[in-house]
Amino acid sequence: MTVTATPLSDVDYDARTAAVLASIERQADAWLEEDCIDIDPQRTGGLLELQFQDRSKIVVNTQPPLQELWLASRRGGYHFKFVDGRWLDTKDGVEFFERLSQEISFHGGKPLQVRGD
């Protein structure tokens, strides 16, 4: 499957990816506050690491030159392009937050849902 990205200005790309990272951080903080899962979010610029109790990690990383958002976990690496208001996997078209929820659920050992807001 080939996805055709919606063109973004650099400013728009930066704003959209910053919003995605902030949304993930808010969700991780809420889970910690609710004592739902032991997850440690660490953000440096356009890179967000989520470390789990077993020391495994998920990394979400912005790629400004490509205007992509990347997600890496021990199950694989995924690239997402912005298409019609959503970040879609460049290989299979899965939406970013759906894939992230799958990966967090796998690493965390329980079903968890991340929603972009």
* All structural domains of the chain: 10-108 (3.30.920.10)
What is the rounded distance in angstroms from the CA atom of residue 11 to the CA atom of residue 52? Answer: 32
CB 50 within 8 A of CB 39: yes
Q: What's the confidence (pLDDT) of residue 4?
A: 82
CB 58 within 8 A of CB 50: yes
- How would you classify the pairing of strands 76-83 and 68-73? antiparallel
Q: What's the confidence (pLDDT) of residue 36?
A: 83
- Nearest 10 degrees: CA dihedral of 52, 97, 93, 87? -120
Return per-residue pLDDT of the chain as tens, 117 residues.
Answer: 667 888 899 999 999 999 999 999 999 999 988 888 889 999 999 999 999 999 999 999 999 999 999 999 999 999 999 999 999 999 999 999 999 999 999 999 989 988 876
